Amino acid sequence: MWRKLLSPFARLFEFQAKTHYRAERHSMALTIGIIAAASVGGIVEIAPLFTIDDTVEAAPDMRVYTPLEQAGRDIYIREGCYACHSQMIRSLQDEVDRYGPYSLAVESQYDHPMLWGSKRTGPDLARVGEKYSDDWQVRHLVDPRDLVPESVMPQYAFLLETQLETASLPDRLAALRTVGVPYTDEQIENAASDALGQSRPETDRADGVAERYGDATNIRTFDGRTDLLTEMDALVAYLQILGGLTDVAAETQPARGE
């Protein structure tokens, strides 16, 4: 049996030995030529960006996403929200007037991956945080056309019924730390508990969140349900922090006087 199974490999070696290849210079030259021609552009454009920290504006107040917000971000990715919503306000007057100060590089420095987007079937969301109430966001996600009759956005009512999976959050935060987000050991250990705590104000867990992520953290029952920590909680927590990780954009770009 073994002999029969191994025989094709034996043939493979024989084949290598027996076959006489012409010195194949042409296709090798072609391969090297293509790689040489095609790699330069990428190297020249991308490599300097990894030294960009020298030049971008510093944001000492920049904070990381809480576990609940990060879980919401993962849901945002899972549902493909980025296909219709950008998170990048360009430095054009009408965009600044419509959406707020233009986006700075530092604001997405903890975004693995970035969600700048490429298409605005719906409006930009880079600064949507705190623009609407939690209640508005929940109702809008449950049925967009209830609040905006012209909307073409899909309904996401099921988020309000689905329990948020928090067990994997420590792993996820740890992976994010591996790629460069400065989560502390304590933050990683308590990730699952903090996710629940952020939507349960006035509890011990909530105090832990404030202690680890700062007093400015939004600690609210985002979806209005106290019986269950839902995916809606996470997504709304994420939406409400968009544009709110640092104030550097608002500070460096004073609003245009009317």
Q: Which lies closer to another protein via its Cβ, residue 44 or residue 254? A: 44
Q: Which amino acid appears at position 209 of this protein?
A: V
Considering only residues 164 to 183 of the shown chain, the ones binding another protein according to CB under 8 A are: 168, 171-172, 174-176, 178-181
184 binds another protein (CB under 8 A): no
214 binds another protein (CB under 8 A): no
| Minimum distance from residue 47 beta carbon to another protein (Å) | 6
Q: Which lies closer to another protein via its Cβ, residue 108 or residue 193? A: 108
Considering only residues 67 to 106 of the shown chain, the ones binding another protein according to CB under 8 A are: 74, 77-84, 86, 88, 90-92, 94-95, 97-98, 102-106
CA–CA gap between residue 250 and residue 140 (Å, rounded): 27
Among positions 112, 139, 220, 225, the unique one binding another protein when judged by CB under 8 A: 112
Structure tokens at 61: 């107040």
158 binds another protein (CB under 8 A): yes
| Minimum distance from residue 38 beta carbon to another protein (Å) | 5
| Minimum distance from residue 22 beta carbon to another protein (Å) | 7
* Helix (H), strand (E), coil (C) string for 37-48: HHHHHHHHHHHH
34 binds another protein (CB under 8 A): yes
Among positions 63, 132, 155, 220, the unique one binding another protein when judged by CB under 8 A: 155
Of 36-44, 200-208, 211-219, 240-248, the segment contacting another protein by CB under 8 A is: 36-44
Rg (CA), the chain: 25
CA–CA gap between residue 94 and residue 111 (Å, rounded): 26
Among positions 65, 156, 222, 238, the unique one binding another protein when judged by CB under 8 A: 156
Q: Which lies closer to another protein via its Cβ, residue 196 or residue 245? A: 245
| Minimum distance from residue 219 beta carbon to another protein (Å) | 25
Structure tokens at 123: 């409006």
Give 17: exposed, middle or buried? Use CB within 10 Å, 0-12, 13-18, 19+: exposed
Q: Which amino acid appears at position 83 of this protein?
A: A
In contact, 239 and 167? CB cutoff 8 Å: no
For residue 9, give every residue at least 6 positions away whose Cβ sits within 8 Å of its Cβ, in sequence order, or none: none
In contact, 70 and 175? CB cutoff 8 Å: no
Q: Which lies closer to another protein via its Cβ, residue 85 or residue 219? A: 85
47 binds another protein (CB under 8 A): yes
Which of helix, strand or coil describes residue 230? strand
Among positions 58, 119, 203, 251, the unique one binding another protein when judged by CB under 8 A: 119
In contact, 198 and 208? CB cutoff 8 Å: no
